[in-house]
């Protein structure tokens, strides 16, 4: 018997698997570019052979996820029998297959990388930083990538009968709500990048702090209720769980000053957005979502717990509502479309991540897990189409790696 792998003995900083992780995650910056052939999906297909040759060596921690995705894909296929939109259902089925590959590739490559946590954090930071370049351009010039953005009417808001131009950033995503959702899913890993000293020297503070601060500013400009609450909660968790020493106190002070200065500097335009949203009494009022969720639950009951089937959610919603077909709730999106069985799997997954946070001793990992799970009820109601967004699968599989890092990276033996 010989030692086949040990992360602690490897003196190299990167392997090709670290690069795979960084590329898979940094590609999320391209958002909706490519339509059905979004770049993360294409990369998942391209890297499938590389995963296939290594997956057997990961069976000690990957079997449960393989079984789940096989059930998920099989259920998606069978549900086409009762889906009201089989054409869309086939598209969703294909997405589910590709996103399952994407999820599994990150899990497999994490075992063979030198430092999977750092590689994942780096990938998320590159992805967010790339989008922020475009976001700053949008906010400062009022120009947007029209070929990708839907709902251009949201560029103008009505305040007491007066048309007011709205500053927002949607970047490469279909609307500004989806961009805010992306930033919220990414934030826990950005915080880890700040704590982990991914960058050396002065940059170890400046680069992650700039990315985090500009992400918060983008959320404030977009005036997202769920995004505002989610970011606030994540930062609170970050502040509370930091150990009390000179190093962590300096991080907290630096980040606090940077966020405060950014809000002060952009205060006039941010205040305008907040006033516009609050003028309709909707800034922190989520009551507009409740009628949607009630109608969705009625649809779910009508399916006898089976769900509307792959791709059938919007068509089923049209039967009960002529104007509202977007669920705006990740939990109901899973429940109503794929039924009680997949919903139970999903709920158990989130609960396991939270329980892992309770048991975790590393405060950095604890912050990532807590901020992701405790804020999910808020950033999980910002947008719709969660189950077709690659960044959602990227975030969840990243959480799995962080939560099970010791098991994934432990030394294992090859006979």
The pLDDT value given to residue 203: 59
Q: What is the mean pLDDT of residues 330-346?
A: 95
CA 388 to chain CA mean position, Å: 12
Task: Establish how many alpha carbons lie within 13 A of residue 24's alpha carbon, considering only the half-sphere containing its beta carbon.
Answer: 37
What is the C-alpha to C-alpha distance for residues 179 and 29, in angstroms, rounded to an integer? Answer: 10
Across 74-78, 162-166, 238-242, 282-286, the highest mean pLDDT is recorded for 74-78
Give 208-224 pLDDT, tens digit per residue.
888 999 999 899 888 78
- The single-letter DSSP state of residue 145 is -
Of residues 268 and 176, more confidence is placed in 176
Does the pLDDT of residue 322 top 70, yes or no? no
Specify whether the CB–CB gap between 123 and 24 falls below 8 A.
yes
- The confidence score (pLDDT) of residue 331 equals 95
pLDDT of amino acid 252: 79
Neighbours of 89 (CB within 10 A): 25
Determine the pLDDT at residue 1.
Answer: 29
Residue 310 has a pLDDT of 93
Phi and psi angles of residue 160, each rounded to the nearest 5 degrees, phi first: 55, 40
Tokens 């880890």 correspond to 192
Using pLDDT thresholds of 50, 70 and 90, give the confidence band for residue 264: confident
What is the C-alpha to C-alpha distance for residues 51 and 190, in angstroms, rounded to an integer?
Answer: 26
pLDDT at position 142 is: 78
pLDDT average, residue stretch 255-272: 72
Instruction: Give the mean pLDDT of 88-116.
Output: 95
The helix or strand, by DSSP H or E, that contains position 154, with its residue range, turns out to be: none
Can you tell me the mean pLDDT for 278-296? 64
How many Cβ atoms from other residues are within 10 Å of residue 73's Cβ?
Answer: 17
pLDDT above 90 coverage of the chain, percent: 53
Residues 227/379, Cβ–Cβ less than 8 Å: yes
Tokens at residue 281, please? 């009494």
Instruction: Please report the sign of the dihedral spanned by the C-alpha atoms of residue 132, residue 133, residue 134, residue 135.
Output: positive
DSSP of 29-70 = GGTTTTGGG-HHHHHHHHTHHHHHTTGGGGHHHHHHHHHHHH
Distance CA(14)–CA(405), nearest Å, equals: 17
Cβ within 8 Å of residue 385, ≥6 positions away? 178, 326, 333
The whole-number average pLDDT for the span 253-279 is 69
* Identity of the highest mean pLDDT range in 264-273, 310-319, 373-382: 373-382
pLDDT at 260: 81
Confidence (pTM) = 0.90
- How many Å apart are CA 350 and CA 369, to the nearest integer? 10
pLDDT given at position 23: 97
Most confident of 9-13, 280-284, 398-402: 398-402
User: What six digits make up the tokens of 22?
Assistant: 């960084």
End-to-end CA distance of the chain: 5
Other C-beta atoms closer than 10 Å to the C-beta of 20 total 23
39 pLDDT exceeds 50?
yes
In the prediction, which pLDDT does 166 show?
67
Are 174 and 32 in contact, with CB atoms under 8 Å apart? yes
pLDDT of residue 323: 67
Asked if pLDDT for residue 7 goes beyond 50, the answer is: no
- Measured CA to CA, the distance from residue 147 to residue 35 in angstroms comes to 11
At 199-209, the pLDDT tens digits run 555 557 788 88
Q: Tell me which H or E stretch contains 158.
A: strand 156-159
Average pLDDT, the chain: 84
Q: Does residue 287 surpass a pLDDT of 70? A: no
Q: Look at residue 411 in the predicted model and tell me its pLDDT.
A: 47
Most confident of the ranges 67-81, 143-157, 188-202, 219-233:
67-81
Q: Does 240 score more than 50 pLDDT? A: yes
**Distance (Å, whole) CA 128 – CA 126:** 6
C-alpha distances in Å from residue 350, one per residue of 25, 202, 214, 294, 357: 21, 36, 28, 23, 11
Q: CA–CA distance from 61 to each of 24, 71, 287 (Å)?
A: 21, 18, 42
Q: What H or E segment, with its residue span, contains residue 5?
A: strand 2-5
Residue with tokens 């799970």: 373
- Kindly tell me if the per-residue pLDDT of 285 is higher than 60: no
Which pLDDT tens digit goes with each residue over 365-388?
A: 999 999 999 999 999 999 888 999
Query: Could you tell me which of 219, 144, 233, 230 has the C-alpha nearest to residue 180?
Result: 219
What does the pLDDT average to over 231-242? 91
Q: CA distances (Å), 99 to each of 86, 92, 386, in order?
A: 19, 10, 12
Confidence of residue 327 (pLDDT cuts 50, 70, 90): confident
Q: What one-character DSSP code corresponds to residue 388? A: G
Token couple for 163? 């048309």
């Amino acid at each position: 018997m010989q030692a086949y792998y040990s992360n602690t003995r490897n003196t190299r900083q990167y392997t090709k698997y670290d690069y795979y992780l960084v590329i898979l995650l940094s590609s999320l910056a391209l958002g909706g570019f490519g339509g059905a052939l979004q770049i993360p999906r294409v990369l998942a297909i391209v890297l499938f052979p590389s995963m296939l040759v290594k997956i057997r060596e990961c069976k000690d921690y990957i079997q449960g996820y393989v079984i789940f995705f096989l059930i998920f894909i099989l259920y998606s296929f069978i549900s086409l029998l009762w889906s009201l939109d089989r054409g869309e259902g086939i598209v969703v089925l294909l997405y589910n297959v590709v996103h399952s590959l994407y999820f599994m590739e990150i899990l497999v490559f994490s075992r063979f990388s030198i430092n999977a946590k750092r590689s994942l954090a780096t990938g998320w930071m590159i992805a967010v930083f790339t989008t922020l370049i475009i976001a700053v351009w949008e906010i400062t010039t009022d120009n947007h990538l029209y070929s990708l953005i839907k709902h251009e009417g949201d560029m103008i808001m009505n305040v007491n009968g007066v048309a007011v131009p709205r500053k927002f950033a949607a970047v490469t995503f279909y609307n500004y709500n989806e961009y805010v959702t992306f930033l919220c899913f990414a934030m826990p890993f950005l915080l880890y990048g700040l704590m982990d000293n991914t960058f050396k020297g002065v940059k170890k503070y400046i680069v992650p702090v700039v990315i985090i601060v500009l992400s918060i500013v983008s959320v404030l400009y977009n005036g997202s209720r769920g995004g505002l609450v989610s970011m606030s909660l994540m930062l609170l968790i970050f502040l509370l769980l930091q150990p009390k020493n000179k190093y962590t106190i300096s991080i907290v002070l630096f980040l606090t000053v940077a966020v405060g200065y950014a809000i002060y500097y952009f205060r006039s335009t941010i205040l305008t957005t907040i006033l516009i949203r609050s003028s309709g009494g909707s800034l922190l009022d989520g009551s507009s979502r409740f009628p949607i969720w009630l109608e969705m639950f009625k649809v779910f009951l009508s399916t006898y717990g089976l769900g509307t089937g792959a791709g059938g959610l919007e068509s089923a919603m049209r039967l009960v509502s002529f104007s509202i077909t977007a669920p705006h709730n990740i939990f109901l999106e899973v429940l109503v479309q794929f039924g009680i069985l997949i919903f139970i799997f999903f709920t158990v997954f989130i609960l396991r991540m939270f329980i892992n946070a309770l048991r975790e001793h590393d405060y950095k990992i604890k912050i990532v897990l807590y901020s992701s799970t405790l804020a999910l009820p808020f950033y999980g109601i910002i947008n719709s189409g969660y189950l077709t967004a690659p960044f959602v699968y990227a975030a969840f599989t990243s959480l799995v790696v962080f939560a099970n890092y010791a098991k994934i990276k432990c030394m294992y033996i090859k006979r």
